[in-house]
Amino acid sequence: MISCLHANLAACEAVLSDIDQQGIDTITCLGDLVGYGPQPNEVIELVRERSIPTCQGCWDEDIIDGLNACECSYPSQLAERRGHRAHHWAAERITENNKAFLASLPMTLRRDRLLFVHGSPNSQHEYLLPDMNAFAALERVETAGADTLFCGHTHQPYVRELSDGAIRVSVQKDGNHSDSEQEMILPMRRIVNAGSVGEPRHGSTKATYVVHDDDSGEVRVHEVEYDVATTCQAIVEAGLPEVFAWRLSHGFEYAERAEDASHVCER
Amino acid sequence: MERWALVSGLRGDLDLYEQIQADLQKQRGTAHLFVLGDMIGPHPNCDALLKRLRQPKRRDLQPHCIYGWQEEQLLSLHGYRGEAKAEELHRQSDESEVRRLLQAVGTEHLNWLASLQFGLIELDCGLIHGSSADVGDELDETTSPLILLDRLTRLEVNRLFTARSGRQFRLQLTGGQIRSKVRDHAGEQLNDQPVPRRSVIGVGSSGNYTLYDPASDHIEFRSVHDQLRAR
């Protein structure tokens, strides 16, 4: 699983080469082919050439539908302004043919009990952070009818296992008496975040992806070195906000975190 | 402390609203009336009820209104909801019902309906027509506790009062836990999270309404229909 490629061609090529070397036969992309980086068309065309099944990310959606998420998508106003600049830069350069491809991408992909999304099953904009309330996180996987949910969007890879869950309830109806207590045993479920190929923010500049073994169920996070300086230089030369190059060369979020990362934009 | 009355699904029925107001007069200590949406519906004419809600009579308990599923459909038919065009309503009803809803509400009430809030937070309680996920979210006592807990968590409230299902119930989360194991670049973190003691309350609809005492956490489900039958 690869995610959040963000128009960073050097990182995409390095990750795909690493995947090929391991003889992995099924690649799935969790969206955000564009945004932040300087090579949106090249990255879209690479994904198209290799026929990688891809779901639509929030940046992909915004390029097609226009910016209609509210300010909640960004952690600060400065970050929002930078994001808008990058959006307009990309929207002007992405070819009509490639935009049609982005528009054709599904929100989710499914293979048996494995579900693939960008943000969450509810929205490409919702962040499933590793410290999200465990019951709410389980609800996302369970309501979507999956055993394992693969997502991206946060740019921080993790594997989360939710187990040994139970909820006890008592119900009061018409009268004022409470019925006896009932217990619901919760199923074990997993959330796997693939991190980011093109804009890692997990404290390292290395691109990340995850490998899932369909037979054993084992999940491993892989990190791949690539030529960060080349992409940084291309960002600056393209006239994109320089902080994107700074962030790429440090490997963590520049702005403060959103106040309520679990907020779902209603617009 | 003063009790709350929680009403929903009046659907343009002024007579019903007057019966509820009369019933409330008899209830000692009820000081706040919350109308959790669906003030309108495909009733012959909702204007009289809307006027009464906006300009209460002197003896009326002053209503605090939020919008419900019916208002959401009407407002989206009138273009108040951007590109949304009452898709839910069209899916569930035929064209004559859509027309009846449009005809039931005078345009002089639209801006007022559009000014109403999605929900209210009072003390540690969330008051919403559907839920924190959607105005059309139907929660009842058979809804998965995992979903109910999610809706409570999204609002960070201890009690969620909902009306969309039309059911009267109180479901309390009384115990339980979940184990979360996260493996990331920082290592492995194990965390056992208990189920918080929270509840979801269905306030009922139409003549079925709910009284709530925040001081004692006591819930009373009432019905003006029962009283009519008893007469």
Six token digits for residue A227? 């030529």
Q: How many whole angstroms separate alpha carbon B145 and alpha carbon B122?
A: 23
Return the half-sphere exposure (C-beta side, CA atoms, 13 A cut-off) of residue A59: 30
- What mean pLDDT value characterizes chain B? 92
In chain A, whose CA is at the least distance from the CA of B147? A139
Q: Could you identify the residue written with the tokens 């019905």? A: B223
In chain A, whose CA is at the least distance from the CA of B208? A174
Closest Cα in chain A, distance from residue B172 (Å): 5
Residue B87 has pLDDT above 90, yes or no: no
Number of residues written out for chain B: 231
- Chain B residues in contact with A130 by the CB 8 A cut-off are 182, 184
3-state secondary structure of A36: coil
B212 pairs with which residues across the strands? B4, B219
Q: Could you identify the residue written with the tokens 């590793």? A: A130
- What mean pLDDT value characterizes chain A? 89
Q: Over the range B78-106, which residues count as b (16 or more CB within 10 Å of their CB) and which as e?
A: beeeeeeebeebeeebeeeebeebeebbe
Number of C-beta neighbours around residue B164 at 10 A: 26
Torsion angle, CA of B54/B56/B61/B62, rounded to 10 degrees?
40
Q: Which residues contact A215 (CB under 8 A, 6 or more apart)?
A: none
Torsion angle, CA of A194/A64/B80/B157, rounded to 10 degrees?
10
Whether residues A172 and B177 touch (CB distance < 8 A) is answered with no
CB A72 within 8 A of CB A258: yes
pLDDT in tens, B47-57: 999 999 999 99
In chain B, whose CA is at the least distance from the CA of A193? B184
CB A152 within 8 A of CB A194: yes
Where exactly are the structural domains of chain A? 9-161+188-250
pLDDT in tens, A191-237: 999 999 999 999 899 999 999 999 999 999 999 999 999 999 999 99
Residue A78 has pLDDT above 90, yes or no: no
Six token digits for residue A71? 């300010």
Whether residues B185 and A203 touch (CB distance < 8 A) is answered with yes
Residue B92 has pLDDT above 90, yes or no: no
The pTM (predicted TM-score) of the whole model is 0.87
Query: Residue A57 carries which DSSP code?
Result: -
Whether residues B173 and A168 touch (CB distance < 8 A) is answered with yes
Q: How many whole angstroms separate alpha carbon B69 and alpha carbon B93?
A: 14
Interface test mutation site (partner A, options B180, B212, B217, B221, max chain A beta carbons within 10 A)? B180
Confidence of residue B27 (pLDDT cuts 50, 70, 90): confident
Q: Which residues contact B145 (CB under 8 A, 6 or more apart)?
A: A167, A169, A184, B171, B173
* A171 touches B: beta carbon within 8 Å: yes
Interface test mutation site (partner B, options A163, A169, A185, A267, max chain B beta carbons within 10 A)? A169
Task: List the single range of A142-156, B80-94, B197-211 with lowest mean pLDDT.
Answer: B80-94
Domain over B3-230 is classified CATH 3.60.21.10: yes
- Chain B residues in contact with A168 by the CB 8 A cut-off are 173-176, 195
CA B72 to chain centre: 13
Max distance between CA atoms of chain A, in angstroms, equals 72
Whether residues A135 and B171 touch (CB distance < 8 A) is answered with no
Q: How many whole angstroms separate alpha carbon B129 and alpha carbon B67?
A: 7
Interface test mutation site (partner B, options A135, A162, A253, A267, max chain B beta carbons within 10 A)? A135
CB B38 within 8 A of CB B205: yes
Whether residues A166 and B168 touch (CB distance < 8 A) is answered with no
Mean pLDDT of B210-221: 94
CB B136 within 8 A of CB B172: no
Residue B7 has pLDDT above 80, yes or no: yes
Q: Which of B174, B168, B171, B172 is nearest to B220 (CA)?
A: B168
Q: Give, to the nearest 10 degrees, the angle between helix A40-49 and helix A96-104.
A: 60
pLDDT recorded at residue A256: 47
Mean pLDDT of A165-188: 84
For the domain made up of A9-161+188-250, give the CATH fold.
Purple Acid Phosphatase; chain A, domain 2 (3.60.21)
3-state secondary structure of B41: coil
pLDDT recorded at residue B97: 87
Mean pLDDT of A65-82: 66
Backbone angles phi, psi at A45, to 5 degrees: -65, -35
pLDDT recorded at residue A62: 87
- Chain A residues in contact with B173 by the CB 8 A cut-off are 167-169
Mean pLDDT of A142-155: 96
Q: Which of A138, A176, A148 is nearest to B149 (CA)?
A: A138
Residue B208 has pLDDT above 70, yes or no: yes
pLDDT recorded at residue A267: 41
Task: List the single range of A81-95, A114-128, A215-229 with lowest mean pLDDT.
Answer: A81-95
The closest CB to that of B179, out of A157, A163, A202, belongs to A163
Six token digits for residue B174? 């009384």
